[in-house]
Each structure stands twice: as structure tokens, then as C-alpha cells.
Structure 1
Amino acid sequence: MKNQSKKYLIYFLLILFAAIDFSGCTSSKLIDVWKEQSFKRGSIDNFLVIAINNNKTKRRIWEKSFVDELTSNGIKAAGSYYYYPNDAPAEKDIPELFKNKFDGIILIQKVSEEIRKYHVPGSLYYEPWGFRRWYGWRYSRVYMPGYVDKERITQLEISVWEPGEDGKMIWSALTETINSDLPQNFSKEISSLIIPKMISDRIILPKGKKGGGVDSSF
């Protein structure tokens, strides 16, 4: 009876750890990057960051994460919520924001999100138990059956635009995240993935570590 209880306990813990391992981790990666080949400037020095999100709190969190990542590399940046605290600026207002203020826009928007199910196969392990005091151990076979789990797949597009009469996209990246975390962590994960890629593609050039953009204390 004691061995049977122990067996059930081990079985329960294995299921619990497997669930944590498969569904509790977050991972983000770049799955596509595009750059306008005619772009010759090599760097944009002053950005407006716009996150397309109907949730005002999430919008501010996302914009601030990108602003912080940019300013830490010496690039001037401000979130659109500094100028439009309630809703993201309308498309017709963007040219005015560019006027004598910014020479580039970073646009962040969700492309898709889906829940994907997958099967975790069963596994077999051997549990030792005492046979007799002087005659060593015996082993019981314990089978942990498979189960169906699910994960959330989120794709974001981050694009960079130059000012102009109609605006011109010069760079874009598509990211994919499995089981996205809280907005504070998710936005930092994506900004720390995107800004270094923008640097390596020479969209921006770091100018030394600095702190604080227009809204760095928020």
C-alpha cells in the first residue's frame, strides 16, 4: 500500500512538471525580415513609436519598452501616448507629428494569434523498491500516459517608416512568440529582439548608452 501511494505521488509530480515544462515557457524569434534596398541613410536619429492596441495600458507598456530600448542605445524616441494619451494617432495626424519632430516611425501591431493543440507522448520509467534487506532491489515499470496540451502562437509585425507625403516603409520584421508572457515581459522580450536587428541592418546606429527619452520616467 505504501509503495502504491508513492507510485501515485511520483506519477502526479511527473505530470505536473511536464505541464510546467511544455506550457509555461515563453520563446520569441524572428521569422522574417525585409529591408528597402534603396534606403541609403544608414541611420534614423529620432523615432516616434506607435503600438496599435485598443487597450490603453498595453499600448503605453509596449511603446515605453521600445522607447527605453532605443534611448539605451543613444537614439531619441518618444511614445505616441505622450501626444495622444487616449488613442493612437489617426493616420491623417501622422504627417503633422513628423513635422520638425521625428524622422522615423516604428509601428507595432499584432498580425495573428492562435491556440494550437499538440500531443505529448507517453513515457515509461522504472521505479526501484526494496525487495529484501540483504538481496538488493527490484524495479516496477511505471507508465505515464500521453496527453494533449495547447500553446498560444502570437505573430507581431514591427515596421519602420520614413516621413514623406504618403509615408514609405523601409524595414519590417515578423516575430513569432509561443505562450506570450505578461505585457511588461513580452514587450521587453520583443524590443530587445528587434532593436539589435535594426542596428545590425544599419537602420539605426547606436550612439552610446544613454537614459531617458521624452517619457523615460513613466
Structure 2
Amino acid sequence: MRIPRQLSFLNLTVLVLIIISCSSTKQVSNWRKPASEDVKLHKVLVLGMTNNVTIREHFEQQLTATLLKNGINAEGSLSFFKDDMKTIPQTMEAWLPYINQLEEQKFDSVLITKVIGETGKDSKSAIIRYYNEFFGSFKEDVTKNKELYSAEEGFKDYTVHRVASNLYCICEKNEEEDLIWKINIDIKQAFDSDYLVSEGLKLFTKEFIEDLKEEEIFVTE
């Protein structure tokens, strides 16, 4: 019996969509600080590591909304600090007044997220020069990436992007290693329009929140 042409096309379309949805995101790594099972965080500042304010605001709003929806007390850096944080501080000394404000408002963690051009350009490009290194502390992350905050690199030049998130605890003042958790997620998508940026963030936040919930790091409401 011959299958109707319309049905065959429909099945093919569904199959393609399933393949695309399954292959659009891939967890590259997931690391948790050893012996940190007893760490329970309560309030996190969400920081998108880019000086493109439009993309940063979009990202912070979307990830914050996802965290809140899952019972995690969160706020974006632009929402909390307003115009004072439009330019990201590039040294630890410049960060200290902001950290003091966070502690006063009961924040105990900072989530730094960066979008890395992974495939499609020279791997020696400045945009990925330091992003793939392991940072044990918030201070180290800030210091080594300070030259990259204002990099004018276009998303459209890459076909695969790595979204790297580092969760730092600001409640361990006497410990140098304050990185609690990190995750790297690859997104197979060229970010060459506002729509694709939006869709890429949706893919990331879905994968991100599923893995974060499994870690049970935050006290949820």
C-alpha cells in the first residue's frame, strides 16, 4: 500500500524537527566542588558577561525568570545595580563595593555566564582565549577575562556556541576556592539575528535548569 505523499512529508518534517531538537544542545562538562554537598545557597545574582547591554539584559531577564519559576531567588545584575552596572567592573578592586552591596541584600552567590564562539572561526581568536580555562575563584575569573569584556566579536561568525556558567559563592570569605559549580553547554546554532539569540537562550536555560536542579545547591521557595 502506497503512503500518501502528504503524510510522508509530514512524517519527514516531524522527524527532522525531532533530530534538530535533540541535537541543538549538548552538555560538554558539569563540575561540582568536592565536599560541597552541605553548601546551600539562598540568593543569586545573574550576570551575563558581555558589554553588549541589549543582549546582556535579554539574557539576564530570561535566566532570572527561569530560576524564579523554579523557586530559586535570583535577580539580574542590571536589574539590581541599574545604570551603575552597565559597564562590567574589570578588576577585583572595582568589584568590592558591588560585592558589599550584594552581601547587605543577602546575596550569597554570583552566577557568571559567557557565550563563547566555539566552531566557525580560528580557535585562537581572542574571544575564546581564556574562556575555556578553569577558574577556581571569582577573583581569578574577573582578572583573567578583563580584556575580553568589551570584545566586539559577532555571534554570526560561529555555528556552534558554548555557553559557560560558573556559580561562585560569596559566603566563603576565608576560602580562596569559591567556585561551587560550573557547566558548559554547546548550542548548535548561528546567532545572527535577535530571533536566534532568543531561541538559543531558550535552549540553554532549559538544559541549564534541569542540571542545576539535580545538584540541589539552592534552597528553593
Matched AA of 2:73: K
Unaligned residue ranges in structure 2 (runs of 5+):
1-11, 122-156
Distance apart, 1:204 and its partner CA:
2.1
Higher helix share: 2
Match of 1:177 among 175, 187, 196: 187
**Any idea what SS the aligned residue of 1:63 has?**
helix
Matched AA of 2:179: M
Q: Does structure 1 residue 98 correspond to structure 2 residue 122?
A: no
Matches within 5 A, 1:45-194: 45-82=42-79, 83-85=81-83, 86-90=86-90, 91=92, 92-93=94-95, 94-101=98-105, 102-115=107-120, 152-163=159-170, 164-165=172-173, 168-180=178-190, 182-194=196-208
- Output the TM-score relative to the length of structure 1: 0.62
Q: Are the equivalent residues in 2 in contact too, given 1:48–1:79 (CA < 8 A)?
A: yes
* Distance across 2 between alignment mates of 1:73 and 1:40: 20
* Distance across 1 between alignment mates of 2:212 and 2:190: 22
Matched AA of 2:182: S
**Any idea what SS the aligned residue of 1:155 has?**
strand
Higher strand share: 1
* Distance across 2 between alignment mates of 1:28 and 1:34: 18
Unaligned residue ranges in structure 1 (runs of 5+):
1-16, 117-149, 208-218
* Distance across 2 between alignment mates of 1:76 and 1:45: 6
**How big is each residue's C-alpha offset from its partner over 1:8-45, in whole Å with a ceiling of 9 and x where there is no partner?**
xxxxxxxxx99xx69xx561121110000121335311
**Any idea what SS the aligned residue of 2:104 has?**
coil
Aligned pairs, how many? 156
Aligned identity (percent) is 18
Matches within 5 A, 1:21-60: 25=20, 27-60=24-57
Q: Are the equivalent residues in 1 in contact too, given 2:110–2:168 (CA < 8 A)?
A: yes
Q: Equivalent residue for 2:214?
A: 200
